Amino acid sequence: MREILGRRRRLLSQRKDGRPDVISAALTFATEWQWPVLPGVAADPQDGSRCGCPDPDCTVPGAHPFDPGLLAATTDARMVRWWWANRPGAPIILATGGKAPCAVSLPALPAARALDALDRLGMRLGPVVASPTRWSILVKPYSMEQLGELLYAKDFVPGSLRFHGEGGYLALPPSETCHGEVRWERAPLPGSASPWVPDVEAVVDAVVEALTRTGVSAPEL
């Protein structure tokens, strides 16, 4: 089934009180889509703007693995239920690469402009994850060699682009981080199996072209 272009902000599931059901979302990712996940470190309970990890200069506060580490990511339903039963406020962290999607991310404002430009070009995109600071376009798994060859062939690649490949991670909706809510800017189709995602080559080609156009260029963040 073809992804419908346009903005969809549907959470995978919600509780009766309207708040997002994080454990149900984590189980959907792990058991239905076979995306390995684990709970991330939450915000500092004494100061919600700071990460709960020991690093005072954490660059992704409340949106990264800590204990357990990234290698613990799993698709096992029992482990997922146990984790979030004990840590219900923990963000959902996807271990990117392998059989799970990878991602290309960029700052939020240029990302919104780039997606509008890609829509006008008729570019087909899969799910897009949005946080208040950065948006991430999910893509098919790629190797570092594949990515290196792709970037080497470019005359210019904006430094604001980040790549979440093998050994990387990404916070998924409906996580709450120190920067705010993680949501779907382009949500998977309701009831779909593991969502379709494009090749990294197509996304990088289109995003670099969109970002380097006048008025759409991104700061080096």
For residue 93, CA distances in Å to 65, 118, 125, 171, 174 come to 7, 27, 22, 5, 11
Q: What amino acid occupies position 14?
A: Q
Q: How confident is the model at residue 165 (pLDDT cuts 50, 70, 90)?
A: very high
Mean of per-residue pLDDT scores for the chain: 85
The β-bridge partners of 163 are 104
What local confidence, expressed as pLDDT, does residue 170 receive?
A: 96
Q: Are 100 and 137 in contact (CB under 8 A)?
A: no
Phi-psi region for residue 167, left (φ > 0), alpha (ψ -120 to 50) or beta? left
Measured in whole angstroms, the distance separating CA 7 from the mean position of its chain's CA atoms is 16
Please report, in angstroms and rounded to a whole number, the separation of the first and last CA atoms in the chain: 36
**How sure is the predictor about 17, in pLDDT bands with cuts at 50, 70 and 90?**
very low
Asked whether the predicted pLDDT for residue 214 surpasses 50, the reply is no
Helix (H, G, I), strand (E, B) or coil at 47: strand
Separation between Cα atoms, residue 194 and residue 29, nearest integer Å = 8
Summarize pLDDT for 39-72 with one digit per residue, the tens.
Answer: 999 888 888 788 989 998 998 888 999 989 999 9
User: What is the mean predicted confidence (pLDDT) over 16-30?
Assistant: 80
Q: What span, in angstroms and rounded, lies between the C-alpha atoms of 162 and 108?
A: 12
Q: What is the pLDDT of residue 48?
A: 78
Average pLDDT over residues 122-132: 94
The pLDDT of residue 192 is 62
Residue 179 has pLDDT above 50, yes or no: yes
pLDDT for 221 beyond 60:
no
b/e map of 29-63 (b: 16 or more CB within 10 Å)? bbeebebbbbbbbbbbeeeeebbbbeeeebebbbb
pLDDT higher than 90, residue 129: yes
Span 66-109, pLDDT tens digits: 989 999 999 999 999 999 999 988 999 999 999 899 999 999 99
134-152: per-residue pLDDT in tens? Answer: 999 999 999 999 999 999 9
pTM confidence score: 0.86
Inter-residue contact 63 to 178 (CB < 8 Å): yes
Geometric angle at alpha carbon 183, from 67 and 48, rounded to 5°? 50
Across the range 164-187, mean pLDDT stands at 94
In this prediction, residue 21 carries a pLDDT of 87
DSSP state letter for 71: G
